[in-house]
A and B are shown apart, each in its own frame.
Chain A
Amino acid sequence: MLILTCPHCGVTAEETEFHAGGEAHLKRYGPGSSDADFEDYMFNRVNPKGVHFERWRHVYGCGKWFHAARCTATLEVFGTYPAQTHQPPEALLDIIRQKRPGWSWRDFS
């Protein structure tokens, strides 16, 4: 079971208080985009073994969305951060670099 810390209300709680919202940092391709870009945005998701970035919602608590970085193999949670951003905070990336040398996830490494 995951133990997540909501960056909005500071609560550290177990998974059942939250709801998973799929992959984080997706770039939306809407009307006017190419079919390939739209297909990629709509259907294609990474499914890594190791470091992963996900959206979560504190559904039974404050109701806010946030992002979490975790390891899909060990369920270790590297950190959480507010969703109003295009990339993870540098401090969090440093933690992951330290714990999983050589990792990469989409454009991040």
Chain B
Amino acid sequence: MSDAKSVTPLQGAKFDGIATVQEIGPRGMITLRGTLSDATFAAAVEAVTGCTVPAQRKASFSGGNAVLWMTPDELMLMLPAGSVAGALETLAEKLAGVHHLAADVSDARALFRLSAPGVAAREVLARLAPVDIAPGQFGPGDLRRTRVGQVAAAFIMVEEGVFELVCFRSVARYVFDLLADACGETTAQPVF
């Protein structure tokens, strides 16, 4: 086998508007399914990421790692790009005998960071997703899987004014163009 190197779909594309859109990564991503309330499951998640199992529609963070609540029986673990193989081994070891599924999806997803001081990043997302992103309704640590334009995506608010958005790799260019377009100035009344 050749020494294949992980390449992000847009190779770090960046756009500056009322907010900054930046493609980030490569980052290790593992889809982990199982019984979220199970203690063994929670211990395995913590062993690999240092994060606790997040509550419904939340994300938890520890160091550079994150765990995202995707469905009532699925998490997404975010780790440094090189550590996925080791993490999968640890998960298999810790979850031996426990019904679960762990899959490396690092190369199947694209990641974007949307950031701006103030409420501009909220403004950009509100132009694209049918979600109430008003201050007080959506805050740091909140996660939402929804529709962005015409495709499925998930976004989390990492801290005030900074969102990270995950979508399928195949629609990375579409989502980037969409975000960049929504970062334009308009004469329309701002939502926030």
A16-B57 contact, Cβ under 8 Å, with A61-B145, A62-B145: no
Number of residues on chain A facing chain B (CB within 8 A): 14
A62-B152 contact, Cβ under 8 Å, with A9-B57, A13-B146: no
Task: Determine the main DSSP class of A at the interface with B.
Answer: loop
Instruction: Give complex CA distance A17, B147 in Å.
Output: 6
Instruction: Give complex CA distance A17, B57 in Å.
Output: 16
Number of residues on chain B facing chain A (CB within 8 A): 12
Shortest distance from the beta carbon of B2 to any chain A beta carbon, whole Å = 35
Instruction: Please give, as numbers and ranges, the residues of chain B lying within 8 Å of A108 by CB-CB distance.
Output: none
Interface presence of A8 (CB below 8 A)? yes
Interface presence of B51 (CB below 8 A)? no
A60 and B145: CB pair below 8 A? Answer: yes
B152 and A8: CB pair below 8 A? Answer: no
A14 and B57: CB pair below 8 A? Answer: no
Contact bitstring B108-151, A, C-beta under 8 A = 1, else 0 = 00000000000000000000001100000000000011110000
Chain B stretch 69-86: residues in CB contact (< 8 A) with chain A = 70-72
Instruction: Please give, as numbers and ranges, the residues of chain A lying within 8 Å of B71 by CB-CB distance.
Output: 8-9, 62-64
Residue from the list B57, B70, B72, B152 in contact with A60, Cβ < 8 A: B152
- Name the CB-closest residue of A to B72: A8
Chain A stretch 1-22: residues in CB contact (< 8 A) with chain B = 8-11, 13-14, 16-17
Could you tell me which A residues sit within 8 Å of B by CB distance?
8-11, 13-14, 16-17, 59-64
